């Protein structure tokens, strides 16, 4: 069964899982861990790739390590992501964006338990051992690896290429980007590598070094196949896709350019079998540098916060909302007491620029806001009712994530909508919105991701609290010649806009 798989391995557990949240902040240059007089990466490799990579490998190999994490007693609480964890319940399709190249693949397997939600796995109840890779970023023993390699570890051991082993402590972890920073105990000096300050190009050579299946010091080569991949693992997804073979155990290991600089941190693979098929994913160096610096300085990561739920602007949504192009991020909800609410940003606004620079999509906005320090001012340009408006606000500090609640609609007084929509609707028990009690398979609504329990709050800019009013509003949009009508839909505690085709559309 095909699935996204993290690349580290646990000896005592055979189940496979998805790597944790990836992608974070962006930094153009490196300020920390930059030691130009002694770094391995200082000696560039200019030999043509056809002549081999031996000189390069000899220089970087001493900085690459195997990471072994002894796991303490774990609870059975569900977690998302992680490495080689014991699976609980049927696997479900990751919550992929509509334009993800992997959505069509997962949707081909409805009978295998894929249901549109992120994978969920459980930690084993007893101890075990997780294996992964890592690399030194300073001569005093700081090591970068993946969070899912060391998550729940009671003891961490680092083994260098000479087979010497060292105890290491966890300095800090960041689940949102699946990064962790370790510190080898003692005063010994180590060979290390630098992150690359230059973004790789598609087609550039890449050399991966790591510990696949416990085989330390393994080297594979390939090219950068794509940039900016979003596979639905988190709000900051911005993977490099590489075709250098990586497997379980490569998690946390470096991907090098021909100068011996780290361009990415190997984290996940896409595979039908659990082994490499040439589709691997690495966290870009530029996205990891700031996270690692924060972990070193504070043990945690501080991110900027706007306080909005956002979604992509599709062509259908752009048409429904009267936008000229499908760029930017559509505001589906505004958090109470947030910087966005205080600045006057509203549901239905399309955020098109941040500090004067065009916002490409929700991921672009999320990454850029995250790397603005809390307390800093920002200018946000929104499209509202066909015109641009600029608001000034002060970026907040991202709060702790809150658990989403499931909608529990009253099942009485169900009123079928028109068959062409594929929805059965009923009044909400609290009088706010219209509840979807059933969705007809293969209907327009089903194709747009509607599910039983969803609540339709608005049709266009009009609040709806009655099924008849909702259907009438859709029919009126059809009479007015609109191809799509925009619905504001709440699923649990999250909201999104959906462009539903009208009868004429």
Q: Which helix (H) or strand (E) holds 369?
A: helix 362-370
Measure the CA dihedral 22/27/33/37, to 10°: 130
Residue pair 279/269 in contact (Cβ under 8 Å)? The answer is: yes
Beta bridge partners of 396: 305
Residue 56 is encoded by which pair of tokens?
Answer: 């390069």
Residue pair 313/99 in contact (Cβ under 8 Å)? The answer is: no
Nearest one of 281, 286, 284, 260 to 271, comparing CA atoms: 281
3-state class (DSSP) for residue 44: coil
Distance, in Å, from the CA atom of 353 to the CA atom of 357, rounded to the nearest integer, reads 5
Assess whether 432 carries a catalytic annotation: no
Assess whether 466 carries a catalytic annotation: no
Choose the catalytic residue: 191, 251, 276, 320.
Answer: 251
Q: Which helix (H) or strand (E) holds 58?
A: helix 54-60
Assess whether 491 carries a catalytic annotation: no
Choose the catalytic residue: 83, 84, 174, 178.
Answer: 178
Residue pair 261/248 in contact (Cβ under 8 Å)? The answer is: no
Residue pair 294/301 in contact (Cβ under 8 Å)? The answer is: yes
Q: What is the full DSSP assignment across 143-157?
A: EEEEHHHHTTEEEEE
Choose the catalytic residue: 8, 26, 84, 148.
Answer: 148
Distance, in Å, from the CA atom of 376 to the CA atom of 373, rounded to the nearest integer, reads 6
Residue pair 204/221 in contact (Cβ under 8 Å)? The answer is: no
Beta bridge partners of 489: 456, 496
Residue pair 316/324 in contact (Cβ under 8 Å)? The answer is: no
Distance, in Å, from the CA atom of 10 to the CA atom of 212, rounded to the nearest integer, reads 11
Residue 86 is encoded by which pair of tokens?
Answer: 């014991």
Q: Which helix (H) or strand (E) holds 397?
A: strand 396-397
Residue given tokens 């991202």 in the structure block:
398
Distance, in Å, from the CA atom of 193 to the CA atom of 259, rounded to the nearest integer, reads 10
Residues with active-site annotation: 148, 178, 251
């Amino acid at each position: 069964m095909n699935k996204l798989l993290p690349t580290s391995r646990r000896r005592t557990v055979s189940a496979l899982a998805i790597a944790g949240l990836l992608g974070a902040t962006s930094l153009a240059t490196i300020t920390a861990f930059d030691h130009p007089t002694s770094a391995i990466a200082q000696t560039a490799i200019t030999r043509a790739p056809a002549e081999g990579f031996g000189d390069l490998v000899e220089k970087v190999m001493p900085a690459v390590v195997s990471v072994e994490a002894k796991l303490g007693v774990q609870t059975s609480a569900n977690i998302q992501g992680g490495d080689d964890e014991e699976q609980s319940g049927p696997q479900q399709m990751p919550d992929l964006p509509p334009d993800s190249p992997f959505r069509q693949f997962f949707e081909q397997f409805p009978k295998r338990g894929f249901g549109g939600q992120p994978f969920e796995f459980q930690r084993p109840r007893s101890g075990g051992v997780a294996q992964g890779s890592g690399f030194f970023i300073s001569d005093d023993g700081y090591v970068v690896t993946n969070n899912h390699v060391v998550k729940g570890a009671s003891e961490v051991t680092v083994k260098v290429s000479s087979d010497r082993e060292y105890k290491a402590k966890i300095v800090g972890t960041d689940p949102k980007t699946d990064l962790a920073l370790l510190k080898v105990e003692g005063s010994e000096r180590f060979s290390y590598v630098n992150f690359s300050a230059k973004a790789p190009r598609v087609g550039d050579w890449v050399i991966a070094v790591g510990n696949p299946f416990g085989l330390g010091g393994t080297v594979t080569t390939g090219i950068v196949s794509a940039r900016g991949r979003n596979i639905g693992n988190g709000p900051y997804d911005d993977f490099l896709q590489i075709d250098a073979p990586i497997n379980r155990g490569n998690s946390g290991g470096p991907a090098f350019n021909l100068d011996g600089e780290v361009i990415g941190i190997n984290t996940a693979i896409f595979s039908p079998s659990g082994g490499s098929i040439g589709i691997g994913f690495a966290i870009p160096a530029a996205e990891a540098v700031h996270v690692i610096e924060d972990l070193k300085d504070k043990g945690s990561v501080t991110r900027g916060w706007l306080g909005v739920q956002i979604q992509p602007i599709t062509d259908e949504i752009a048409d429904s909302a009267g936008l000229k192009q499908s760029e930017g991020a559509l505001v589906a909800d505004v958090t109470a007491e947030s910087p966005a609410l205080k600045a006057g940003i509203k549901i239905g606004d399309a955020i098109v620029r941040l500090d004067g620079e065009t916002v490409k999509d929700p991921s672009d906005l999320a990454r850029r806001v995250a790397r603005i320090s809390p307390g800093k001012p920002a200018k946000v340009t929104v499209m509202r009712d066909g015109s641009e408006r600029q608001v000034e606000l002060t970026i907040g500090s991202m709060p702790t994530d809150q658990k989403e609640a499931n909608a529990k609609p009253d099942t009485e007084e169900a009123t079928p909508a028109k068959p062409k929509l594929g929805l059965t609707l009923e009044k909400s028990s609290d009088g706010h919105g219209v509840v979807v009690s059933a969705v007809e398979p293969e209907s327009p609504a089903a194709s747009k991701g509607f599910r039983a329990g969803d609540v339709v709050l608005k049709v266009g800019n009009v609040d709806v609290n009655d099924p008849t009013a909702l259907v009438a509003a859709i029919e009126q949009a059809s009479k007015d010649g609109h191809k799509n009508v925009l619905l504001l839909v709440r699923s649990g505690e999250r909201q999104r806009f959906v462009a539903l085709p009208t009868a004429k559309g």
